[in-house]
Structure 1
């Protein structure tokens, strides 16, 4: 049958069929070559690449067996310390002796045991009915009393409720439906999802104002660290950036991951030192750049897993040594730290130039050469960290928020989250809790020194 069909085809149809088969064979050959090249390569995981731990694979059965842990030495038992200012003290006197049954007088008894019993009272919202009196003046105009400060007409929900809504939704990713049910069941407060959204929108002006002040403070910094991650806005993938100095934390949510986002934030400012990973969009933003050595160590580990036993293990040990030196910079003299920095540079130069036959080792050497001048800035400046963990820790709560809530349904919701994370992150640098910071913001008292 196939033979008959072949003779029924025209010459043009035969040529088209042959062209299609040739293209298919070419694609299959390319795929076969790709699979042959990947044979023997280790799987990329969070320990040897930039893949997050959530994509390492299902279950614990795929993990490498860990050596048995050393047994910890026993520690003395401790108990919860007593509250210095208890709200109430309950004193109980013994009535009888439990051993002989005799009545015991109160005189001569002393405290044998003291402990705290802690509980929460029923929490209910405080409802204040506001009645504004007035009348008609002799001039013919109506008049009415002014509303109490903080209780103006409009939303019935006060700053305490609005602060709690922001805190629970953005710090502990509680969705609108669960948040409404939680307030009803815990506090007896009936509030709809629409009312929650309206409460958030009313806070947007204050958050924007606070974020502008935080940005102005950030642009005075000498050292800035940054990182970025994906987020979802109205079903579309966008990017959440974080910029951190020693006094300010700024979050930005933008449609792009391009370098222009950071340049727009900096607005012409050029800090002295920039700390980030090796993503191209975060390069050439400052005079000096410190790359994250934790990211470099994962690439080194991949070269080791690929089979390089000559160069990669030595580079790993050298970078770990440099990080250990960085952790004790505060105890080192300037001359000692300078000697360590020179040693780190010389040793890395030797390792990059060391001959190796393994392709993974040669690839690692080429990667290090490309970033050679950005490894040990932290050994010449005590204020520079060797890794970008501060940015990753700051952006991790937003990653959890994205995974729990699947992102934002509107652009204004994304901007509110960026403002909230900026305010709470900056407040944490000053030792202030997230709830205290958002309450100060709602009360109009948030200030950045």
Structure 2
């Protein structure tokens, strides 16, 4: 805006412009920005981490089946110097453990084909090629370890190469690692297809997406999840076509997501993430003296409090509370305001008004926030920050298939590495 533009502004417009310029930047508490983008001084004023006062402490649990037990019994009395022979009765005073990792070295098995001459006819007979000698020389556990480190510990090819060399004494080229990982990813295709099939039968589905670099271009990592399935997928687009292809005509009862347009209209009802709205409201409360955002914040706190005990209340009670909350929200949204931020907030919430309390009609089955999707996307975000994305689309799609199988197995309590080893070794 130039000088001539400023001269044409009225006194009220100039005051509003100055107030806008003085507004603080948004933070992770008042927007969807990650905590790492917060200013240093804000982090310095934040509350310290660690256990809060009154928190019950926990200690490591002793193993019931240790590999070895060593008893330490005194052999001489500290008072009189008398001999304490080994058959005296003893009592257990304390137990401590020392835990150590064994030295891990590769187990190399050479398969040698031998030939013998038949004593009857003199023919030279060669042993057939053993199954272990066909294909790759690397076994399932090595494939599983490399896949786990690459996918879930976000190691680049260079760092993965160094880790295998330093920890296990294995010398592999980066091309060899790429081929190894590609072979491992192939084993996860059927598991991904099964998870997609389960997802397409779900009544409640949540989704979200985050940016990622694939083959040097901007792309997106999507996640879809239900009660018994999680599906990750890589796509060059953020459009609704990704959702339509994933659902293949299935239309669940409820869809949970943020207010992004491509996430809308895929179910009979939609639950908008209230955590996103709460951050938007917190920003306006922080920068404005208008009481309307403060009323919205109190309203959201009431909703979150009700969500914590939604499964303890009868359906009639939930319906009555929903009517009351909707009536209160209507009064807040129709209250006039001179603050532009408040008016924008009222319009934003008004457009999603019928999507805010859907979870009350499905107690225990629908969450009021989309935090579950964000938690499932967090490892992919870490991977993006650590490695700057994927060199090829097959790598992005392969890791999405691995995350699909592992995160779906997690719903049943299975560990990531155990799932990877079982899948690769199948």
* In the alignment, structure 1 residue 155 sits paired with structure 2 residue 100: no
Name the counterpart of 1:100: 80
CA contact (8 A) 2:200 2:247 kept: yes
Structure 1 residue 108: deviation in Å?
1.4
* In the alignment, structure 1 residue 216 sits paired with structure 2 residue 205: no
User: Which deviates the most, 207-216 or 292-301?
Assistant: 207-216
List alignment gaps of at least 5 residues for structure 1. Answer: 1-22, 445-449
Change in Cα spacing, 1:379 to 1:141, as seen in structure 2 (3 Å) is farther
CA contact (8 A) 2:115 2:124 kept: no
Name the counterpart of 2:128: 145
User: Which deviates the most, 320-329 or 124-133?
Assistant: 124-133
Mapped to 1, the partners of 2:377 and 2:251 lie a distance apart of 23
Name the counterpart of 1:180: 161
Matches within 5 A, 1:364-403: 364-382=345-363, 383-403=365-385
Mapped to 2, the partners of 1:64 and 1:180 lie a distance apart of 38
TM-score, normalised with respect to structure 1: 0.85
Name the counterpart of 1:244: 225
Name the counterpart of 1:195: 176
Structure 1 residue 146: deviation in Å?
5.0
Name the counterpart of 1:48: 30
Q: What value does the CA root-mean-square deviation take over the aligned residues?
A: 3.0
Q: Give the secondary structure class of the aligned counterpart of 1:226.
A: strand
* In the alignment, structure 1 residue 433 sits paired with structure 2 residue 415: yes
Larger Rg: 1
Structure 1 residue 328: deviation in Å?
1.1
Name the counterpart of 1:120: 101
Name the counterpart of 1:307: 288
Structure 1 residue 402: deviation in Å?
0.4
Change in Cα spacing, 1:334 to 1:423, as seen in structure 2 (3 Å) is same
List alignment gaps of at least 5 residues for structure 2. Answer: none
Mapped to 2, the partners of 1:179 and 1:428 lie a distance apart of 24
Name the counterpart of 1:286: 267
Q: 1:89 aligns with which of 60, 69, 74?
A: 69
Change in Cα spacing, 1:197 to 1:369, as seen in structure 2 (3 Å) is same
Structure 1 residue 53: deviation in Å?
2.3
TM-score, normalised with respect to structure 2: 0.89
Structure 1 residue 303: deviation in Å?
2.0
Structure 1 residue 196: deviation in Å?
1.1
Structure 1 residue 132: deviation in Å?
3.3
CA contact (8 A) 1:134 1:145 kept: no
